[in-house]
Amino acid sequence: MKFNQKPLHKAMAGVLAAMLIAGAPAQADDRESLETLRETTLNLIDALVEQGIFSREKAEQMIKGAQAKAAKAAAKEKTRVATAPVRVQYVPETVKNEIREQLKQEVLAQAKTERWAEPNAVPSWLDRIKWEGDMRVRYQTEAFDKSNAEPFDYFSASGSTSTGKEVTRAAGFLTTNSGVTALTGNTRDDRERFRIRARLGMLAKVSDDWSAGIRLATGNTTDRVSTNQTLGQDFNKYQLLIDRAYIKYEPAEWLSISGGRIANPWFSTDLVWDEDLNFEGFAATIKPSFADGDFKPFLTVGAFPLREENPPTKNNRWVSGVQAGAKWQFARNTRLTFGAALYDYDNLEGRVEDDSKFIAGNPAYGQYEYTSSLRQKGNTLFRTNAASDAASATIWGLASRFRPINLTASLDLAHFDPVRVVLTADYVKNMAFDREDIQRRTGVNLSDGTNYGYLYKIAVGMPKLEKRHDWQATFAYRYLGSDATVDAFTDSDFGLGGTNLKGYQLGMTYGVDQNAWLGLRWMSAESIESFSLDPSHRFAVDLLQADVNVRF
């Protein structure tokens, strides 16, 4: 712990010097009073040394410095007295008391400001910092349906479909190991694993209007929708990455502007945005101050770069959005929150490359790729390689453009408080899905594919698990079409991530102590349409997750 010692050092040195100078001839009563004050000051210095406010060496330096200053002042005073008439000035007791009280108030004010006189005091800047964090240990088992198509079936179908082009919706099933033709995708073999998630965040209140935040989390840089770390790394250490880093400006109650790597700014569910996803870019939320207390509208706008512009190699990619909604307390125990959002992805769709770029070795060749580090599965993909590029590995691109509209509503019923019933509905539709545009741009004559999705969910119990015996039970059903939204950012757990999935979810959480709870979740998902575009191929997987969670 550090203290602002410089003003205190000066004050103590001044008092010591005054006491030592006071050693000059004086009346007996004055001498006794000054000697008492001198001893009190020295005792105060000893006490400050014992409290660790400054070291013994510093205290001795202060005393020696004060003695030297006092000796010089005393010699000067002696010379002055020898050449001047002797005057003994009487200082009234009321004046002494006034000076003493003034000095006392100044010292107390400084002590309060700098907090060096408070027991167990900490620097004032620590009051402007808030820490938060959580940890989760999870057991997870993945049970694949034995009637699922094998990865080789996807490989065979990807280049011989009725579309006449190489097409897939699960490029991950087609991956090979180090150039070997054997596929490494998994569609039939059950899997179980233990996973851990740890997050630690700090929020700093810089001033009344400005704040900043940073959060560290486990995970890796290739999976943006998960902060899980799988156990079984031969006791190796885990990565701890920057999950959030942002600055927020709130000049008024009705306006908030954030920039950097920020939390999800949208009112949403995990139908479109995974709960672990953070956004890079800028967002602003307006909450009109004139709004009635029971009806509080809001408007959020945001713009987020997905890829920087790096000519001539790559063009930039952006996702932007706007959402309008409100929180409406239309009854004493009933609150409705709703929002309508429109998101737009710029330059994300794929195109067939020009032969000239491939032949000339243009560095921009391959810029339409929807990379393996970005995609999960479900979106319709096609081969973007130039016609003359028959030997290179497939460069997958998105067949559809994406401009989804998203409608979300949540009804909170508190009639049985503290038990709450929350009903949630979410709907998404890709307004840019156009089969004619897909055929014109990609050469793929797409006969299937779905451009919409929805989710229904009911949650019963405490809205937040904070105390022992708090509980919550949930049930949800979702249907998310292949090209309803970009599969990169959807929930990574349901169906093991992506779109083109439907099914249900059951969950139960129970508080075993303050800020500690157990969770159990079962998810059953199956494909809506074939991931290989062969109608006979299906995919289904059941997921069981058992969690131990703590929050601090």
Range of lowest pLDDT (96-110, 261-275, 485-499): 96-110
> Could you read off the pLDDT of 1-35 as tens digits, one per residue?
444 444 455 555 555 555 544 444 445 555 666 66
**Average of per-residue pLDDT across 346-364:** 88
pLDDT value at 254 more than 50:
yes
Q: Mean per-residue pLDDT for 455-481?
A: 97
Burial class of residue 443 in the structure, from the number of CB atoms within 10 Å of its CB (0-12 exposed, 13-18 middle, 19+ buried): middle
Q: Sign of torsion, CA 372 375 381 386? A: negative
- Answer whether residue 66 shows pLDDT above 80: no
Q: In what order do the strands lie in the sheet with 396-398?
A: 167-168, 381-383, 396-398
Mean pLDDT of the chain: 86
pLDDT of 6 reads 46
Position 57 pLDDT exceeds 90: no
Query: Which whole number is the average pLDDT over 329-338?
Result: 93
The pLDDT value given to residue 293: 77
Q: What is the pLDDT of residues 68-102, one digit of tens each?
A: 776 777 677 666 656 655 555 566 777 777 777 77
pLDDT given at position 537: 92
Asked if pLDDT for residue 474 goes beyond 80, the answer is: yes
| CB-based contacts of 123, cutoff 8 Å, min separation 6 | 1, 2, 115
pLDDT for 241 equals 94
**pLDDT top residue among 548 and 84:** 548
Question: What whole-number distance in Å separates Cα of residue 205 and Cα of residue 201?
Answer: 13
Q: Percentage of the chain surpassing pLDDT 70?
A: 82
Res 291: pLDDT: 60
Q: How many CB atoms lie within 10 A of CB 78?
A: 12
pLDDT higher than 80, residue 124: no
Query: What CA–CA distances, in Å, run from 535 to 93, 436, 478?
Result: 104, 22, 21
Of the given ranges (33-42, 141-150, 457-466), which has the lowest mean pLDDT?
33-42
| Mean pLDDT on 521-534 | 95
Beta strands in 227-276 (DSSP E): 229-230, 240-252, 255-262
Q: So what's the pLDDT on residue 108? A: 72
Per-residue pLDDT for 442 more than 80?
yes
Contact between residue 201 and residue 214 where contact means Cβ atoms under 8 Å apart: yes
Residue ranges and CATH numbers for the domains of the chain are 5-122 (no CATH), 128-551 (2.40.160.10)
pTM, two decimals, is 0.78
Structure tokens at 7: 């003003």
Residue with the bigger pLDDT between 212 and 67: it is 212
Per-residue confidence (pLDDT) for residue 4, from 0 to 100: 47
Whether 195 shows a pLDDT value over 80: the answer reads yes
Give me the pLDDT at residue 106, please: 76
Residue 94: predicted pLDDT: 74
| pLDDT for the residue numbered 14 | 54
Q: Using one digit for the tens of pLDDT, what is the confidence trace for 205-242? A: 999 999 999 999 998 888 889 999 999 999 998 888 99
Q: Do 159 and 124 meet the contact criterion of CB atoms below 8 Å apart?
A: no
Half-sphere exposure (Cβ direction) of 34: Cα atoms closer than 13 Å: 17
Higher pLDDT, 54 or 75: 75
